[in-house]
Amino acid sequence: MAAIKDVERPDYLYIGGEAEVLQRMLDHYRATLLWKCEGLDEEQLRQRSVTPSELSLFELLRHLTDAERYWFQVCVGGRDLPRSFEPGSAPIEDVLAHYLEACEESRQITAAVPLGHVAFSGVYGQEVSHRFALVHMIGEYARHCGHADLLRESIDGATGE
- Within 8 A by CB and 6+ apart from 16, the residues are 24
pLDDT tens readout for residues 54-101: 899 999 999 999 999 999 999 999 988 766 556 567 888 999 999 999
Helices (H), the chain: 18-37, 42-45, 57-68, 92-112, 130-156
The whole-number pLDDT of residue 3 equals: 72
pLDDT, averaged across the chain: 91
